[in-house]
Amino acid sequence: MTLLVSALLVALNIGLIFLLIAAPVGVRTIRMTRFIAADRDRVWNALWPLGAHASWSGEYLAARRVPDDAGLVRLQLRWEGRDGQPIERTVRLEEAVQGKRFAMSVVDDTSLDPSFWSNYRETTDLAVKDGGVLVTLSRTDRYRGLAFLIFRYFAVRRELGKLKIWSETGKYRAGGLFEHPASQVGFAVLSAFLLWPLFGLTVGGLALAFVLTTVVALHELGHMAAFRLMGHRKVRMIFIPLLGGIAIGGRPYDSRFEVAFVALMGAGFSAFVVPLAIVSSKYAEGAGWGLAAALLASLAGCAALFNIANLVPVWKFDGGQVLRQICPSPPLLALSSFLLLGGFLVVGSWAGMQPWFLICIGAVFAILSLMTAGGGVKPRFELKPISVFDRVAIGAALLASFIIHGYGLIWAVSKIV
């Protein structure tokens, strides 16, 4: 029964990952309409990039026409670029009918490569209705996976909701319910309860579900700490029930070292937690606190397994991110990837996993790597190169983290099984 549940969980996660980040969704259009009880000119001047109220939400800091082309407009956005300065974006305004309609596409962006915007187009339509105006926003783009399509859906929905409040009351409400800390705590608790049946519907199973959720939070906390050390002024954590969490920085990456450091710090931070949990478990066992000792051993085992799994060389996993930054050539990258994956399988064997199970794990990681390869967003300019010294330092830290989590996994299995 346990084997069947594990297989179903793995299949479910692989399927979800494929749908979210790899499925060939193609060109899709998101279209939403909202009635706003306000004057049409007020709403138009908020949505038109050159309008008098275009800065209503704070998204646009400034807008000016490009002198050589009346259809081009240079926008300065509130979001920070790699240099800490506001991102600038050049857009083309088309099909403009004053107070009624306009379309917009992106020509250039100081943060993202132009290929990111090659299929993107947005339209805005306003229609007068008794007592107000009917606003329709459309966003068209080509998508790989449903994740960004879902993100855009809620972004448009939020924009219309905030526009309605601002147009009718004159007040702008920053932020949203989804990223509120209380909501994220709720998602974490929900994630734990969704995991509960997998560990058995007992008090012990619930404790293990919350332990695993805590492990995920600690892992993402390591990424957040790395973002702050790299100079990001705003960082946040988003919990996704069953799939884990995501740490988000306040600006794009500036260098290959930054990418490698941030990716490694998820497991690197927990590399301090695992030895502490092991020592605490041994102390609790010596003091006769059997339940506390077992719980701490479970924490060490879950943290070690979760983090060492994140270090395997899958394209989107932390290990794959680190290796791509520190390996200067494809042959070295391939060799390092096979060595790291081999190390994981050896640790699994020493921990008592059956050979067939290890083969299945290797096959799953291979599928995930192929599924997620090449799916990243290309920056406008190449990241700053990483020095030889930094490559060696990150490589040594990767090896140390892997050894610590490998030892933690083997020790925990010996105590729990």
* CB-based burial, 92-119: b 16+ in 10 Å, e otherwise: bbeeeeeeeebbbbbbbbbbbeeebbee
pTM of the predicted structure, to 2 decimals: 0.84
Q: pLDDT by residue (tens digit) across 379-402?
A: 888 889 999 999 999 999 999 999
Euclidean distance between CA atoms 125 and 100, whole angstroms: 6
249 has which bridge partners?
none
What pLDDT is recorded for position 113? 87
Helices (H) and strands (E) in the chain, counts: 11, 9
Residue 2 reports pLDDT greater than 70 = no
Going by C-alpha positions, the residue among 266, 274, 292 that lies closest to residue 409 is 274
Position 103 confidence tier, pLDDT thresholds 50, 70, 90: very high
Cα–chain center distance at 195? 21
DSSP state for residue 135 in the 8-state scheme: E
What pLDDT is recorded for position 1? 44
How do the domains of the chain map onto residue ranges? 2-21+179-416, 24-169
Q: Which residue has the higher pLDDT, 256 or 175?
A: 256
Q: Which tokens is 50 given?
A: 């050159």
| Stretch 350-358: mean pLDDT | 74
- Sign of the CA dihedral running 292, 296, 299, 305: negative
% of the chain at pLDDT higher than 90: 42
What pLDDT is recorded for position 6? 59
What pLDDT is recorded for position 35? 95
**Domain 24-169, what fold?**
Alpha-D-Glucose-1,6-Bisphosphate; Chain A, domain 4 (3.30.530)
| Stretch 170-180: mean pLDDT | 75
